[in-house]
A and B are shown apart, each in its own frame.
Chain A
Amino acid sequence: MTGRLTALLDTLLPGDGGDWPAAGAHGLAVHAARLADDMLGGAEAMAGVLDALPKGFVDLPQLRREEFLHEIEAQDAARFDAVITAAYNAYYTDPAIRDIIERLTGYPNRPPQPEGYVLDPFDESLLDAVKARGPIWRPVD
């Protein structure tokens, strides 16, 4: 089952040959399965999609796997959506993937708190134009 899940994850989130590793090859199968278990109906969705994979799926090339997954998605979009959510959850919370995100985008690989970001002062001069246009609310009395 882990091999099929690894292949499924690699198809959903393939590597790009450069910065990004494929999700399955990155070793996220167990984590993705656990996160699916945490979701309402997630375990059933994961089991259903894995059961629907054809024999030999793990040995197929990426494009052929994608074709099969599109068919499975079309049969039951909600079920497939739960699997995608579990896959994305595992991938985008993985520390090594977060390192890559930091390197490519500047988003720091740390929690938002307690560090946060610098809170600059508001520049009131930005409001000169809108102030000059005057009131736009309707008085009622």
Chain B
Amino acid sequence: MPEPMMREATSARRPWRQRSLVQLTLVRFREFLREPEAVFWTFVFPVLLAVGLGIAFRNKPADAVVVGVVTGTASGDSLATRLAASPALRVERMSDTTAARALRTGEVALVATAGAAGGIEYRFDDTRPEGRSARFTVDEAVQRGAGRTDPVRVSERRVQEKGSRYIDFVVPGLLGMNIMAGGIWGLGFAIVEARRRNLLKRLVSTPMPRAEYLASFLFSRFVFLLLEVGMILGCSMLLFGVPVRGSLLQLLAVCFIAALSFGGLGLLIASRAKTTEGVSGLMNLAMMPMWVLSGVFFSSSNFPAVAQPFIQALPLTATNNALRATMLQGAGWAAVMPSLAIVAAWGIGCFVVALRIFRWR
């Protein structure tokens, strides 16, 4: 028999750091922070993405519309001169063949040709927004130059409000996408990797409480979540002035519930798979439709009405709806409750099934 005096410290007087839940959670941090790629994709990438999108879709003062005018005839030259006087237009003088090519490649939004009988022909692609707006801008200049007067007097007031720009739309979407990816990748990959390496089996051959192993993933997710949300929100508030109109506490609560729910989904995806290739396929299968359908980069209302019940029931759609309502509309608890209920239902359902079918060996 082993000497009893060789045994040390019973759990009752064990320092907190030596408790298994603390140790398991520390392992999660260590493994994550020692994987530079993971740090990049989780923290740096979403910020870069937000910055990139913010710059690409920044609201700029309306550019002058570029139009081509076929010159070389007297009526053509005169048309070019008249149009060039309008501040809303930039006129490119060109031959008929050059004009056709410029229109095709999008260098000009519209080509105007003066006809023999004093008429003017507009050539443009009516499926392109620039083409349609160029047609009205050019026509306005032509008709007004010819002396048209408006029967109704109108006035304009220009409004550019924070909260309705593209960057304002996309930041909550990126936040939701990141929470989803963190939960699914963070749990799914690490668990399957541990199973593949026989590490899960080794762990359950010790007295380790299994619930603590799974809990360590959720605890570490929560800590990373605070950092992720802080990074993305902080950067987009500083750089683009993206607003948080609702309560910050409510926003965090939405993030936490979503992180729990996607953690459950990640656990479910990882519950049986034995290879990392297998689980990657499952993860993509789960995430891909939501990237497209759930209103990350563009509104999910673009999809046909018949698909809407399905799309609205997706956890990422519900998460994004709750995030946008809280950030952009300043909605209160009552307004986000239906979305949160969907998110929570997914989470509970996934956890229940995952724990039932989980393969520890």
Asked if A and B are interacting partners, one says no
B interface, CB within 8 angstroms of A: none
